[in-house]
Every structure is written in structure tokens, then in C-alpha cells.
Amino acid sequence: MQLQLFQSFEYEAAEDVAYYLLNICHQFDKNPETVPLKMSGMIDESSTLYNEIFKYFGQAQLESFDTIAVPAAEEYPPHFFSPLLKLATCVS
């Protein structure tokens, strides 16, 4: 079973994000340490958010994409653009 979360949540602190994700694991009776969590979007690897998520989720990883021509892609990590690229490929 694979669960894809396509929902946005407002948060003020990194702990809020961890709470939402841990709550989802609880609802599905899943252990956060063993859940493969793939994240994308504007998550900075040196941020509190990144560190908070990796504190609870042992199999968390940042998604990326195959190299394609994306303006400014060289300046930012690939996972910043993966949600937009997935959306573009779903629509076509």
C-alpha cells in the first residue's frame, strides 16, 4: 500500500509538520521509523524542518527528478522542482 499526501497544512513550527505526519502514521497504524517517506518541495536540508522530520522518520528522503532543462535548476536542489514536474507530467 502506498499513501500519497497531496494536501497542504499551515504550520508555524517544524514540530507542527512532524505532528501532522506522525498523526497520519498513527491513523494508519504505521511505525514512522519504517515508513518510506518521500518529500519534495522547498525543504532546505539545513533547516529545522528537515532535521525535525528526520528525527522521527528513519526512511525519509528528498525526491528528485531526472535531469531536464529547468531554468535555475542548477542553483537549487532538484527536490524543489519535483512537485511542479509531477504536476506537469500528470496533466499532459
Contact partners, residue 63, CB within 8 Å, separation at least 6? 38, 39, 40, 78, 79, 82
Domain count, the chain: 1
Distance CA 5, CA 2 (A): 10
Which residue range(s) make up the domain with 45? 14-91
How much is the pLDDT for 91? 46
> Nearest 5°: phi and psi at 15?
-65, -30
Full pLDDT tens readout for the chain, 92 residues: 666 666 677 889 999 999 999 999 999 999 999 999 888 777 788 889 889 999 999 999 887 665 555 565 567 666 666 655 555 555 44
Amino acid at 46: S
| Contact between 42 and 66 (Cβ < 8 Å) | no
How much is the pLDDT for 48? 92
Residue 21 lies in a domain: yes
Residue 8 lies in a domain: no
Q: What is the pTM of this model?
A: 0.67
